Amino acid sequence: MRARLALDVSSQGFRVVEVALRDKPAEMLRASPKGTVPVLIDTDGTVIDESLDIMLWALRRSDPEQWLAPELDDLATMRSLIRHFDEHFKGHLDRYKYPNRFVDADAKLSRSEAVISLQLLESRLQSSSYLFGNRVALADMAIAPFVRQFSKVDPPWFASLPLPNTSRWLAAILDSPRFVRIMQPNAA
């Protein structure tokens, strides 16, 4: 989702090849043996197989909404918040969402750890509509897909959390025409 959002705003043409993760095509594994999606193959054969790198690749080519130049703070600060969500929040999200896939999972504990991360967002969103100012930037679009997944595990419980600004921020992103567009099957 985050890769598609950045490809969309930067108007990079691309062809989507949907893959079944249970049956990864040989062409994908030849390009990226680590076997995760998304994988972007550029016209010159360059392979980019991390979603954040695909965002950066697209936005460095064209960044009409200045996602890389936020109103508040800078790209390095955004990348540090994104890193926290990629390395910490995502692990807890997976353990909360799929406890059976982990021998060591404690879903309740992971849910609480994830909420601590969400408080970082809540405090930033007290003074601005988006994480780094009053317009969308890289961090919003890189992090919101994870928060969306988290909110969908138990929506009434999520709605009961004292995170009003985070809920408002998430709804604004999910309801935005760009997000709605990229969520359509085979959106390109």
Ligand X SMILES: N[C@@H](CCC(=O)N[C@@H](CS)C(=O)NCC(=O)O)C(=O)O
Asked if 37 is part of the footprint of ligand X (rule: CB under 6 A), the reply reads: yes
Which residues, listed in sequence order, are joined to residue 41 by a DSSP beta bridge? 47
Rounded-to-integer distance, Cα 27 and Cα 25, Å: 5
Binding of residue 26 to ligand X (CB under 6 A): no
List residues bridging with 40 in a β-sheet.
48
- 50 interacts with ligand X by CB under 6 A: yes
Q: How far apart are CA 49 and CA 53, in angstroms?
A: 7
Helices then strands (H, E): number in the chain? 10, 2
Q: Which stretch binds ligand X (CB under 6 A): 9-17, 31-39, 139-147, 171-179?
A: 31-39
Residue with Cβ nearer ligand X (159 or 187)? 187
CB nearer to ligand X: give 4 or 133. Answer: 4
Distance CA 25, CA 112 (A): 37
Minimum distance of ligand X from residue 66's CB (angstroms)? 23
> Which residues, 131 to 160, sit near ligand X by CB under 6 A?
none
Tally the residues of the chain. 188
Stretch that binds ligand X, among 30-38, 75-83, 92-100, 109-117 (CB under 6 A): 30-38
Which residues here bind ligand X, judged by CB under 6 A? 21, 35-37, 50-51
